[in-house]
Amino acid sequence: MDTGSDSAVWSVDGSKCKKFSSQQIFNAIRRTSPQKSWAPLVWHKASIPRHSNTTWLFILNRNPTFDRLISWNIDIDPACLLCGDGEESRNHLFFECSFSLVVWRSLLHRFHLSSVPSRWADILLWLPNAHPDSMVRLAILQVWQAAIYELWKERNRRVHDGLTLPPIRIMRYISSSLRDKCSALLSLSHPLGPRLAQFWFDPP
Ligand SMILES: [Zn+2]
């Protein structure tokens, strides 16, 4: 008859362990989700939180654009309030819409790009390699997010307040917010500050 005392044996991922290791257990049970391919487009070192958050929600297509409201059986006119020509959806707003496209292309003019996509899916594919210079790519990401934020804000202004601003005013808001971000980086002596200042303080 075996009179030996019982002892606990830990088995992690099929291997027996001499003692309990919380780190081994944690590593075994945690679910590591692969990084979304769009994550670097949303969160980067020069991002503005309100711009990133709005962009993130549009990537997930969670904002209440008219096409989504209609899909929830809400009876509204689907016409885009920015251009009045086309039905509002995320893909229309950024930047198939003629109003939005003026803002998008005008802001990117300073980078002397040979071509600029206007369709949502094409832009997501283009952004990671939009320019060989990483600082230009970062500035383009800033423009993209700022344009999404300010154009959505303008759309909401038209829905809720009945106020209408022209593209040039939207572009000024965008430039102003990017200069403010640059100033904040400069005041923190962040190395990106002077490198981004070439775009936002001394436009060609
Ligand atoms: Zn439109």
User: pLDDT (tens digit, 9 = 90+) per residue, 46-97?
Assistant: 999 999 999 999 999 999 999 999 999 999 999 999 999 999 999 999 999 9
The yes-or-no verdict on residue 30 having pLDDT over 60 is no
- Span 143-152, average pLDDT: 98
More confident residue, 6 or 139: 139
Query: 87 CA to middle of ligand 1, Å?
Result: 7
Beta bridge partners of 16: 11
For residue 3, the CA-to-ligand 1 centroid distance in Å is: 82
Task: With beta carbons less than 8 A apart as the criterion, state whether 185 and 196 touch.
Answer: yes
How far apart, in whole angstroms, are the C-alpha atoms of residue 175 and residue 72?
36
Q: How far is the CA of 169 from the centre of ligand 1 (A)?
A: 17
Q: Is the pLDDT of residue 144 over 80?
A: yes
Tell me the CA–centroid distance for residue 119 and ligand 1, in Å. Answer: 13
Please give the distance, rounded to the nearest whole angstrom, from the Cα atom of residue 126 to the centre of ligand 1: 22
What's the pLDDT band for 37 if we cut at 50, 70, 90? confident
Q: 165 alpha carbon to ligand 1 midpoint, in Å?
A: 14
Within 13 Å of residue 142, how many CA atoms lie on the same side as its CB?
27
User: What element of type H or E holds 42?
Assistant: helix 39-42
Q: Average pLDDT of the chain?
A: 88
What pTM, to 2 d.p., does this model score?
0.82
The CA-atom distances, in angstroms, between 6 and each of 2, 10, 20, 22, 185 are 11, 13, 16, 22, 62
Report CA(99)–ligand 1 centroid distance (Å). 6
